[in-house]
Amino acid sequence: KRRVLTGITTTGTPHLGNYVGAIRPAIEASRDPNNESFYFLADLHALIKCHDPKRVQESRREIAATWLALGLDTDNSVFYRQSDIPEITELTWLLTCVCAKGLMNRAHAYKAAVQDNEAEGGADPDKGITMGLFSYPVLMAADILMFNATDVPVGRDQIQHIEMARDVAGRFNHIYKGQYFKLPEARIEESVAVLNGLDGRKMSKSYNNTIPLFVSEKKLLKLIRKIKTNSLEPGEPKNTEDCTLFQIWQAFANESQIADMRQQYENGIGWGDMKNALFELVNDHLKEPRSKYEELMNDMGYVEEVMHKGAEKARAEAGTRIDLLRKTVGFGSFV
Ligand code: TYM
């Protein structure tokens, strides 16, 4: 059986990029009876970027309700909050102690932060680099290795982290002379590995250019109208490449709709018409889950129950594995 695992950091409102890059492929994978699925709210990771407890809590609720509204079947998957599984934090330490510091120096997120910090003279401690940021990939490795995941559906920005998880797994296996951890693989959906946002850069909470999944219809239309285009007039043929509108179209349309839109680009569809068509398409997909989402958010009792059940299932397995790993490193009982 393949083990599919992925998580979303609970610092923001889930957006179309999270959906097509991670949530949609993950939910599809969970419907395949050959897979076992582990999906979670990466709330420990959230503290790396956000020290606002209200924001963290709000985001956890939003992301939990999002997965459920989009149809995750929690009878066929394990769905949990990372912070409910203390074994993950413990495993993080065991991995930290076999992880080369030089490996972490190469992490993109850390390198980008160092650069920003230097650019600003490094004076503001809040902009400084915490140990949390530095160790971020080790925590992520623990998420994956705790459950011996084989397949990790993610967007392209996470590939390096998964390579680091493989590296750490290999080192642990080597040092303690055993096959304790399988080496996980990133599963990337190439067509949507990086969905772009309003300004044409990668859609990201950090760029403030996202289209949240469950905004009202009115807001969705407004945001889609904001997507940056070039200044070609209606009637002039347009290029589908490097076009954010077309990229989002492709992420939601079926094959014949994609072919049809390609033709319309050649025929010179106006940007206004394209935006209206895109709104209709995306809205059709999101209408039902949006109302389910609102229902769940209005009464979190059900979601909380689901999270409890998920934590129980996850801990049952994490507990057994951490016992074995404790013995492996020399923490077994004296008698
Ligand atoms: P995060 O929260 O930044 O993003 C969640 C998932 O969404 C994908 N994604 C995108 N995909 C396509 N286009 C985009 N514009 C886009 N923006 C985001 C991300 O690639 C990711 O798959 N460190 C992770 C969370 C995490 C994790 C894990 C993931 C923690 N532990 C273990 C997998 C396995 C993160 O911050 O993702």
Q: Are residues 39 and 108 in the same domain?
A: yes
pLDDT at position 122 is 58
Tell whether ligand 1 has an atom less than 6 A from the beta carbon of residue 211. Answer: no
Binding residues for L-tryptophan: 143
Q: What is the pTM of this model?
A: 0.94
Residues 19 and 74 in one domain: yes
CATH code of the domain containing 279: 1.10.240.10
Mean pLDDT across 126-139: 87
Give the residue-averaged pLDDT of 297-304.
97
Q: Does residue 152 line the site of ligand 1, with CB under 6 A?
A: yes
Whether residue 248 is found in the same domain as residue 152? no
> How far apart (Å, rounded) are the C-alpha atoms in residues 227 and 215?
16
pLDDT digits (tens, 9 = 90+) for 207-260: 999 999 999 999 999 999 999 999 999 999 999 998 999 999 999 999 999 999
Bridge partners of 3?
Answer: 36
43 & 95 share domain: yes
CA dist., res. 100 & res. 165, Å (int):
12
Residue whose Cα lies nearest atom 31 of ligand 1: it is 140
For residue 99, what are the domain limits?
2-195+300-329
> Does residue 335 lie within any of the structural domains?
no
Examine residue 115 and state whether it is found in any structural domain, yes or no: yes
Judgement on whether residues 189 and 237 belong to the same structural domain of the protein: no
Amino acid at 252: F
Closest CA to 300 of 12, 68, 83: 68
Residues 226 and 164 placed together within one structural domain of the fold? no
Report yes or no: 26 and 153 within 8 Å, Cβ to Cβ. yes
CATH number for the domain including 31?
A: 3.40.50.620
Confidence of residue 125 (pLDDT cuts 50, 70, 90): very low
pLDDT category of residue 115 using cuts at 50, 70 and 90 = confident
Residue with tokens 């400084």: 128
pLDDT score of 81 more than 70: yes
Would you say residue 209 lies in a domain? no
Same domain, yes or no: 45 and 155? yes
C-alpha 157/C-alpha 71 separation (Å) is 25
Answer yes or no: do 35 and 84 share one domain.
Answer: yes
Answer whether residue 79 is part of any domain.
yes
Q: Does the residue 170 lie in any domain?
A: yes
Instruction: Specify the higher pLDDT residue, 108 or 137.
Output: 137
ipTM: 0.98
Hey, whose CA ends up nearest to atom 27 of ligand 1?
Answer: 7
Residues 178-198 pLDDT 10s: 999 999 999 998 776 789 999
Residue minimizing CA distance to atom 7 of ligand 1: 18
Whether residue 20 sits in one domain with residue 155: yes
Q: Residues 18-43: pLDDT tens digits?
A: 999 899 999 999 999 999 999 999 99
Residues of the chain with pLDDT > 70, as a percent, come to 97
